[in-house]
Amino acid sequence: MLFRKMLRTVIRYKAQFFSMIIMIAIGTGMFLGFNMEWLSLEKDTKAFFKETNFADYRITSKDSFSKKDADKINSITGVDRTARYISVNADVKGTENMVGLTVTENPNVSGFVVTDGEAYDENSKDGIWLSDKYAENNNVHTGDEMTLTYDKLTITGKVKGLIKSGEYMICVRDESQLMPDFKLYGYAYITPKALQQSIDNMAKDEAEKNIRTDIPKTMRDDIVKETTQKIADETYQNVWHQINVISSLSKAEFTKQVEKVLDRTLLILTKDENISYSESQGEVNEGKTMGSVLPTLFLLIAVLTMVSTMHRLVANEKTQIGTLKALGFKDRRILWHYTTFALSIGIFGSVLGAVLGYFVAWFIMNPDGMMGTYIVMTDWTIQFEWWCWAVLTGIVLFLTFIGFLSTRKMLQGTASDVLKPYTPKNIRQLAIEKLSFVNHLSFGTKWNLRDILRHQSRSFMTLFGVMGCTLLIVAGLGMNDTVGKFMDMYYTDIANYSSKVQISDDAENKDALNIAEKYNGDCLASVSVQYEDNPISLDIYKMKYDTVHFLNENNDRILLPDDGALVCMRLKDEYHLNIGDEIELSPYGTSEKYIVKIKGFNRSLSKSISVSEEYAQTLRSTLKVLTYTSVYKINTVFTKTEKSKINDSFVLSVQSKEDIMKSMDSFMEIMNLFVVILIISAVILGIIVLYNLGIMSFTERYREMATLKVIGFNDRKIGNLLISQNIWLSVLGILIGIPTAYGTLALLIKMLAGEYEMSCYISLLSLLISTVLTLSVSLAVGLIIARKSRKIDMVSALKIPE
C-alpha cells in the first residue's frame, strides 16, 4: 500500500519529480559527457599511437645521419627500435595541394595502419600509401597514379593503400595552421626504395643536364652513369636528417647516451614536442580542465537544487508523515518510504545522465564530429571508466542520503509534533528595516524581500541557479569572443602581410634575401634554441616593409627593438622574466651560447623570442659566437604580394593569409558548436532550476496569495508579485554571474589556450545577449508560474490551519 502511496506522491509532485530527474540527468550528463570525452580521447589516442608505433624521440641534425648512426643508437640499452626518417612537405602535381612526404626505414617506427588497399611493402618502388582523409577529400582512390614533387625530386607512383598514421594524427602543415584541411594538405608514405628510385631519376636528369655535348656518346653514357651514381649516392646519404626512436629511457638519459655514441650535441625532441602528440594530449588536458570546471558547476547546481527541492517536498508531506507515524508505522519504514522517492530520482536521473553523457561525449568524439575534424585515428570508442560508475553511484547515494536526512528531520518528535504542518522559521525585523527608506518601500517589495529572507535556502538556490546560468552563457559566448578577438588581433594587427613564403632548404640566405627584395618582403629565420633545457624558437627578423607587427600584453603595438629581444608572454610567465633580464640561449647542434637582453614582452603563437637582425648581429660580434650563417638561415619571407604572383625556384610553398584564416574557421566552428551546447544546456538547466524553485515558492506562498486574493488583489497583481521576486533574484544573479563568468573564463582561457596567449575578452553584445537570455528565461518561467495564481482555490486554501 505504501508503494501505491509513493506512486501517487510522484503523481502529485510530478512537476518537481520530473524536473529533478531532468536536472540530475543534465548535471550528470554534462559532467560525465565532458569527462568521458577526454578519457576517450586519452585512451583512444594512446591505443592509436601504440598501433602505429609512434616514436618516443626524434633526433634531428643539420648533417645527415648515416645507417651506422642509426645502428649505434639502436644498440643503446633501453632503445627498442630506431628508423631513419624523412618528413618533408611535397607538392602534389596538378593541384595546389601539399602532402607530408614521409619515408621511414623501419615501418615499425612511426608507421601507419592501412584502412583500404594493400599492406605496406618495403620492396615497392612505386607504391604510395596515402592519407585516407586526403584521398576522400580529393577523390583519390587506390590504384590512382599520383606525382609528388619536392625540390628537384619527382616521385611518381600508384596509390596502393589508404592509411592513418600516428605521426600525422593532427595533420597540419606547420604551427601556423591551427586546424587540418584535408582538401589542401595530407600525407603520403613511400618506401626507402621508392625514394632511392626517385633520387636515381633526379640524379640521372642532373647528370644528363650537365654533361658536355661535345663528348662522344659512348663516353658520355659512361660519364652520365658514373655521375648519376655519384649524385644519387650523395643525395641519398644526405637526406636523412632525422632518426625516430622507440625507447623507454628518460630524456636526460637518452640524450646522454645518444650524444655519447654519436659524439656530438643534437636536437632531441620528445614525443611531447610533436604536434600530433602534444596537441592531442593538450586536448586531453583541456578536456580535463573543461570537465572539472563548467560541467562540475552544472552538477553542483543540479545537486544543490535537488537538496533544496527534496527538503521542501518532504516538508510539504509532514502532516502525512505524522499521520503514518500516528497510525503506528515505524520510523524506519516511513524513512524508507520517503527515501525511495529520492532514490528513484537518483536512479532515473543518473541513468538518463549516463545516456546523455554518452551522447555528449559522442557528439564531440566521433570521426565525423567535432574532434574528427581535428584528429584522425582508427578507434573512436567512448570510454566509460570505473570512476564514471563511481560518480553515478555517488550521486544516487548522495541524493538518497539527502532524502533520508530530510525525512528524518521531519520525523523528529512525537507523532503529535510531526502531525503539525511544517512552518518555516519565524521572521524578525532586520536592522536594515529600521532605516527610514525601508518604510517607504511598497508592500510587494517588502513582502518579496522578507520572503527571500524567510526562505533563504530556496532564494539562495534561485540566485545560484541564475548565477550559474549566466556564468555558463557568458563564459560560452566570452570564449567565442576571446578566440574571435585573438584571431582578429593576430591576423589584422600582427600579420600585416598577404602571403607567407616558405623558402626551400637548398636556398642560401642570399637567395632568400633576393626573394624578399623581389616581393618587397621581410625575412624571418627561426632557430631552434635551448633555454633552460627546453627547446624554443629564436625568431630573427629582417624588417623593412612592416609586414609583421608585435603586440604587447595590452594588445598595443610595439616595435621590435634593436638593442634587445621581445619574449613571448608564455615564457615570461613560465620563467618569471622581467624587462632588463639577460637570458642565455644555445642553438641546437652547437655549443655556442648567446646572452640576450629582454626589452619587452609580446603576444605570440609560438613559444618564441623575437629579435631584429641588427640585434642578432651585435650578439655575433660581441659574444662567443663563431659563425653567422651556421647559426641561422632565413626560412620564411612575409610579403604583401598576393600568393598567385609569387613564383621562384627557391620558394618551397606559399600560404596566403586567407589560407591560414580558413583553417581558423574550422577552429571557430568547433568553438561555436561547443558554445551552442553550453548555452542550450545552461538555458535548459536555468529553466528547470527556476521553474522548480518557482513552483516551490508558489506552493509555499499559496496561502498568502489566497489571502491576497480574498482581500481583493487581482490575478495580475499577484502574478506581478511573483514575477518581481524572480526578476530581483535574476538581476542579482546576473550581477554576480557576470564577474564570476569573467574570472572563470580567464581561468579557462589560461588553462585551455595558454599556448595562444589570448587575453580574456567578453564583448558588450555577449553581455547583453547573456543578460537578455537569462532575464527572458527568468521572466518566461515567472509568467508560467504567475499564471497559476489564477487557479488559486481561495476557499480551500484558507481553510488549512496555520
Partner 1 sequence: MALVEFKDVSKIYQSGDHQQKALDNICLSIDEGKFVVILGASGAGKSTLLNLLGGLDSPTSGKITVDGKDISTLSGNELAEYRAEKVGFVFQSYNLIPTLTVKENVALVKDISRNAFDPEEMIEKVGLLDHLHNFPSELSGGEQQRVSIARAICKNPKILLCDEPTGALDSDTGVMILKLLLDMSHEYGKTIIIVTHNQNIAKMADVVIRVRNGKIKSLEEQKNPLNVQEVDW
What residues line the site for partner 1 (CB under 8 A)? 426-429, 442-444, 446-447, 450-451, 454, 703-704, 706-717, 790, 794-795, 798-802
Residue 385 CB, shortest distance to partner 1, in Å, is: 50
CA 374 to chain centre: 10
For partner 1, the closer CB: 119 or 430: 430
For partner 1, the closer CB: 684 or 794: 794
Residue 467 CB, shortest distance to partner 1, in Å, is: 24
* Cell digits of residue 539: 625568431
Rounded-to-integer distance, Cα 95 and Cα 193, Å: 25
Residue 443 CB, shortest distance to partner 1, in Å, is: 4
- DSSP letter for each residue of 231-293: HHHHHHHTS--EEEEEE-S-HHHHHHHHHHHHTS--EEEEGGGSHHHHHHHHHHHHHHHHHHH
Residue 453 CB, shortest distance to partner 1, in Å, is: 8
For partner 1, the closer CB: 676 or 783: 783
Rounded-to-integer distance, Cα 710 and Cα 527, Å: 84
Rounded-to-integer distance, Cα 785 and Cα 751, Å: 41
For partner 1, the closer CB: 444 or 535: 444
* Cell digits of residue 770: 547573456
According to DSSP, the β-strands at 98-104 and 145-150 are unpaired
For partner 1, the closer CB: 212 or 425: 425
For partner 1, the closer CB: 212 or 791: 791
For partner 1, the closer CB: 141 or 790: 790
Scanning the structure block, which residue is given the C-alpha cell 595552421? 177
Length of the chain: 802
- Assign 540 to helix, strand or coil: strand
Of 411, 430, 414, whose CA–CA distance to 422 is shortest?
A: 411
How far is CA 387 from each of CA 302, 383, 390, 651, 743, rounded to the nearest angstrom?
Answer: 19, 11, 5, 53, 29
Residue 386 CB, shortest distance to partner 1, in Å, is: 49
User: CB–CB of 461/693 below 8 Å?
Assistant: yes
Rounded-to-integer distance, Cα 619 and Cα 579, Å: 18
Residue 722 CB, shortest distance to partner 1, in Å, is: 14
According to DSSP, the β-strands at 98-104 and 185-190 are parallel
Residue 424 CB, shortest distance to partner 1, in Å, is: 8
For partner 1, the closer CB: 4 or 440: 440
For partner 1, the closer CB: 11 or 252: 11
For partner 1, the closer CB: 47 or 453: 453
Residue 800 CB, shortest distance to partner 1, in Å, is: 8
- Assign 601 to helix, strand or coil: strand
Residue 447 CB, shortest distance to partner 1, in Å, is: 6
For partner 1, the closer CB: 443 or 628: 443
Of 356, 358, 365, whose CA–CA distance to 287 is shortest?
A: 365
- Assign 496 to helix, strand or coil: coil
For partner 1, the closer CB: 721 or 758: 721
Residue 709 CB, shortest distance to partner 1, in Å, is: 7
Element (H, E) at 210: helix 192-210
How far is CA 376 from each of CA 130, 380, 665, rounded to the nearest angstrom?
Answer: 13, 10, 18
- Which residues lie closer than 8 Å to 713 by C-beta, 6 or more apart? none
Residue 742 CB, shortest distance to partner 1, in Å, is: 35
Residue 793 CB, shortest distance to partner 1, in Å, is: 9
- DSSP letter for each residue of 297-353: HHHHHHHHHHHHHHHHHHHHTHHHHHHHHHHT--HHHHHHHHHHHHHHHHHHHHHHH
